[in-house]
Amino acid sequence: MHFTKKTVLEKRSNFIKKLQSKKLLRFPGAYNPLCAKLIAEIGFDGVYISGGVMSNDLGLPDIGLTSLEQVSYRASQITRVTDLPTIVDADTGFDSCAKTISTFEDKGLAGCHIEDQIPEKRCGHLDNKELISKEEMIKKIKQSVEARKDKNFLIIVRTDANTVEGIDKTLDRIKAYEDAGADMIFPEAMKNENEFEKVRKVSKCYLLANMTEFGKSKLLDKSQLENLGYNLVIYPVTTQRLAMQNVENGLKSIFKDGHQNNILDKMQTRKRLYELVEYEKYNTPGKKITDFSTEGHE
């Protein structure tokens, strides 16, 4: 029970309408459902679920070790807590692109992206990536399109070719992927405005920009991306980085000082947490155990 109002079909159709407005949509990454609720409350356009974040959350590197079952289960938990559209990283499509699309569609996602790396993939901002052939990727895209039941479920195709084959071959791949049926193109590891612009000039599709920190791409702001003609921006690992840095600093403080009194101002309060999980909406009239108010809590 999360007090959401929109059906899955409504979330997807509203997402497509927003994309058609040609305004830049902003999708921060959510590393858990509570984070997704915060993204919605602040007013962002949607939620992104990163495969790298999912791997990191399990204490693993982002090298294709997670399964469709693991990712889809966590994605379903995150997408159901808000009325925002949620898109998810499907890595290389797992064992079957058709099964992957069907699974994420059934779990209520608004879309997913698959990439053209080999199954033993690497983080998109690391060197020494290996790609499958353009022809192999075209087959994956066609399988994905054929498997889709709801035309508004977005099939996003990511290419990692820029750091492997260069920008010219990246552009060739993008045109071929669009011809194969991609709804949106995700050009990974673009270095600067010039490369982002080159993609826009050849692409007829919606475009996704990845603004991940400490990577190969220059961090561009909302206005710059809008002027370049991009439709959606993700901040995939930002919330996890913020959380883990603060957790690390807090734990070090407790270890050193023997108490947490010096870091209370770094914490979300009990009152704020209860507001975010909408505690009071779970009250049942006449039932004392559910009679709860956030008043009186700090």
Between CA 53 and CA 231 the distance in angstroms is 23
The two three-digit tokens of residue 69, written as one number: 């079952």
Q: Catalytic one among 91, 105, 183, 195? A: 91
Q: Catalytic one among 48, 177, 230, 235? A: 48
Is 172 labeled as catalytic in the residue annotation?
no
Is 205 labeled as catalytic in the residue annotation?
no
Is 115 labeled as catalytic in the residue annotation?
yes
Q: Are 231 and 25 in contact (CB under 8 A)?
A: yes
Is 210 labeled as catalytic in the residue annotation?
yes
Is 160 labeled as catalytic in the residue annotation?
no
Is 183 labeled as catalytic in the residue annotation?
no
Task: Look at residues 187, 218, 188, 213 and name the one whose alpha carbon lies nearest to residue 200.
Answer: 187
Q: Catalytic one among 97, 188, 205, 241? A: 188
Tell the residue number behind the tokens 């690390």, with chain if given: 248
Q: Catalytic one among 45, 89, 178, 183? A: 89
Is 122 labeled as catalytic in the residue annotation?
no
Q: Catalytic one among 12, 26, 74, 113? A: 113
User: Which stretches does DSSP call E strand in the chain?
Assistant: 25-28, 47-49, 86-89, 111-115, 154-159, 184-187, 206-210, 232-235
Q: Catalytic one among 12, 158, 173, 241? A: 158
Is 221 labeled as catalytic in the residue annotation?
no
Distance of CA 12 to CAs 20, 35, 89, Å?
A: 13, 21, 17
> At 206, which helix (H) or strand (E)?
strand 206-210
Is 173 labeled as catalytic in the residue annotation?
no
Q: Catalytic one among 14, 162, 210, 231? A: 210
Q: Catalytic one among 115, 116, 178, 195? A: 115
Is 158 labeled as catalytic in the residue annotation?
yes
Q: Catalytic one among 123, 162, 173, 230? A: 123
Q: Show which residues are catalytic.
A: 48, 62, 89, 91, 113, 115, 123, 158, 188, 210
